[in-house]
């Protein structure tokens, strides 16, 4: 879990740094007092602050970049869809009355055929590219009901779960950066039908063939407040500002103290279509199948930033030798605001191949499911589920 959230945070930060938007900076102004001899100095210093603000604005816009991130947003939406398969129990296709399971699952979208190339994806994003990638995680459970009273071979299920990432991140201490917050949620209804009945062959039990579908909603909101160091811009003064025949000297400094928050919000619905089979040997069960996830919904990459713009420094009046400190003058604070985001949605059709390995100990089962997705790139879902059958 720590590694998953750390990867997610890193992807958010490098993606947020590449969101297309424009920084707008309002420079601070200073008034050194009612002495009319200082009016020209006021105007000159405020002109310097304006020029420094424009310099800061230009540099920040260049660093942030000027392109959107639609592929990354689609990748995050897909990863959320993949992670919504939580609490999956394929080890027992048939059971007497009730089945309860709980677990955790992760989903990952890769732009290449290799769904495990996390390092390469991070490097590509750090270089400023819009990468078709994403990470999702879900924790939840599933309750299954043998609905043979409606139709023989029919099983119904309810999937649900919610996790508070804010509390989880706080409990992990230094394992994750400060400022990570958010929540995960999943809810869905499922149905499966035993198309071909099981067959017992001495110690081996073939599970038959099952078909399944459903409707699953997943929501993910992750926000990360990044610590960003203040940035300063400085200009030396050596000029006869008030035309008094003497040089005014000093330094004017403009400092931006930024606050940056990046995040992802997804709300997606998946319709899984699956055909599966399996085999049990003693306590070991292996199952697998084919299918696809039809996906709908939206995903949004957020990037919000503001900054406190401060002025400091001093000017020595050439004629009188009086040192005018900017901090002692009347300062109107400046500000900087950036509000950006990219909206998109998941890939509609996501073909998949899935498998799971489980241990069956009486009514208790422990299962590790895995799914490989094929779309413009590739993806996977992996998890662990502990189940109990009645």
User: What are the tens digits of pLDDT across the range 265-278?
Assistant: 888 899 999 999 99
Residues forming beta bridges with residue 347, ordered by sequence position: none
8 Å CB contact between 87 and 103: yes
263 pairs with which residues across the strands? Answer: 223, 302
Pick the closest to residue 139 from 156, 154, 118, 160 (CA basis). 160
E strand or H helix at 44: helix 39-64
pTM of the model: 0.71
- 24: exposed, middle or buried (C-beta count within 10 Å: 0-12, 13-18, 19+)? middle
Torsion of CA 327, 333, 334, 337, to 10 degrees: 130
Res 271: pLDDT: 94
pLDDT, residue 319, reads 83
In degrees to the nearest 10, what's the CA dihedral of 297, 381, 186, 76? -40
Question: pLDDT 10s digit of each residue in the chain, 390 long?
Answer: 444 444 444 444 444 444 445 677 888 899 987 776 788 888 999 999 999 888 888 877 665 554 356 677 778 778 888 888 888 888 777 788 899 999 999 888 888 777 777 666 666 666 655 677 777 888 899 999 999 999 999 999 999 988 777 776 666 555 455 666 778 889 999 999 999 998 988 889 898 899 999 999 988 887 777 666 788 889 999 998 888 888 989 999 988 887 777 777 888 899 999 999 999 998 899 999 999 999 988 877 777 777 788 888 999 988 888 898 888 888 887 777 765 666 777 888 999 999 999 998 888 999 999 999 998 888 889 999 998 988
DSSP state of 237: E
């Amino acid at each position: 879990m720590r590694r998953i959230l750390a990867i997610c945070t890193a992807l958010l930060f490098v993606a947020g740094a590449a969101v297309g938007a424009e920084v707008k900076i309002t420079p601070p102004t200073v008034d050194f007092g009612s002495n009319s001899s200082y009016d020209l100095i006021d105007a000159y210093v405020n002109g310097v602050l304006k020029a420094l603000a424009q310099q800061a604005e230009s540099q920040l816009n260049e660093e942030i970049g000027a392109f959107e991130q639609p592929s990354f947003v689609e990748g995050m939406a897909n990863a959320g869809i993949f992670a919504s398969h939580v609490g999956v129990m394929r080890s027992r296709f048939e059971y007497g009355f009730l089945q309860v399971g709980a677990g955790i699952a992760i989903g990952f979208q890769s732009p290449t055929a290799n769904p495990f190339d996390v390092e390469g994806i991070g490097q590509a994003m750090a270089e400023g590219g819009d990468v078709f990638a994403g990470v999702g995680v879900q924790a939840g459970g599933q309750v299954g009901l043998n609905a043979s009273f409606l139709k023989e071979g029919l099983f119904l299920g309810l999937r649900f779960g919610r996790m508070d990432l804010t509390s989880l991140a706080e409990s992990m201490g230094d394992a994750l950066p400060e400022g990570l917050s958010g929540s995960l949620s999943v809810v869905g209804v499922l149905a499966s039908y035993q198309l071909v009945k099981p067959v017992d062959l001495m110690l081996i039990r073939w599970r038959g063939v099952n078909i399944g579908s459903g409707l699953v909603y997943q929501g993910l909101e992750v926000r990360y407040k990044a610590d960003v160091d203040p940035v300063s811009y400085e200009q030396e003064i050596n000029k006869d500002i008030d035309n008094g025949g003497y040089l005014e000297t000093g330094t004017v400094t403009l400092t931006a103290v930024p606050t940056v928050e990046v995040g992802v919000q997804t709300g997606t619905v998946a319709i899984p279509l699956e055909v599966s089979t399996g085999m049990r040997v003693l306590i070991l069960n292996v199952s697998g199948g084919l299918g696809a996830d039809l996906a709908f919904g939206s995903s949004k990459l957020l990037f919000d930033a503001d900054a406190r713009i401060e002025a400091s420094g001093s000017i020595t009046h050439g004629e009188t030798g009086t040192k005018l400190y900017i901090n002692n003058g009347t300062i109107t604070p400046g500000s900087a605001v950036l509000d950006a985001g990219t909206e998109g949605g998941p890939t509609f059709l996501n073909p998949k191949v899935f498998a799971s390995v489980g241990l069956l100990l009486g009514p208790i089962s422990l299962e590790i499911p895995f799914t490989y997705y094929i779309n413009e790139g590739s993806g996977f879902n992996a998890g662990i589920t502990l189940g109990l059958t009645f």
